[in-house]
Amino acid sequence: MDLLGSTCFFLGSHLARDELAPLLDEAIERHITAYGVSGFVVGHYGNFDRLAAAALRRAKERHPDIDLRLLIPYHPFDRPVEPPPGFDGTYYPEGLERVPRRLAIVHADRLLIRTSQFLIAHPGLGQSRELTDYALRREKRGLIRVELLERTRGQPPA
């Protein structure tokens, strides 16, 4: 996948609640129609990733030309992964094989924040918060556009 085009990455807490689904639908639709995003990359290690993937599949029904990729942080030879239904393929960042396995997910996320033009995020605590803060610092320099999804009413922080 060529990430030089208009690409959006997703980052969020593995404990994200299902109530985020409508917010994800709205954010994805806005990124496609208002910002011209044509490529989306999402991981597959937690509830936020699951919710984002489902929202992307719904968006693909309305916008069949968008490109959906599943981020795989481990080399496909070591751990083959089939893309979910509705996805166009997987994305394994070049050079990630040189990163220790225990750091692969964080390194892949950081790489996608550096190479994507857009980020849709709903951070919790820990790594998702640290990586979102990193993206927000990049946004201040005009390097990425970050959309933080707000909690829905009555929802505790993830």
Please check the confidence at residue 5 and state whether its pLDDT lies above 90.
no
The radius of gyration of the chain's CA atoms, rounded to the nearest angstrom, is 15
Please check the confidence at residue 153 and state whether its pLDDT lies above 80.
no
Tens of pLDDT, residues 82-92: 898 999 999 99
Phi-psi region of 86 (alpha: psi -120 to 50; beta: other; left: phi over 0): left
Report all structural domains of the chain as residue ranges with CATH numbers, in order of start: 7-137 (3.40.50.450)
Angle at 120 between CA 101 and CA 138, to 5 degrees: 75
Quote the pTM value: 0.90
Q: What is the pLDDT of residue 152?
A: 44
Angle between helices 104-115 and 127-140 (to 10 degrees): 20
The answer to whether the beta carbons of residues 48 and 56 sit under 8 Å apart is no
Average pLDDT in the chain: 90
Phi and psi torsions of 49, nearest 5°: -60, -40
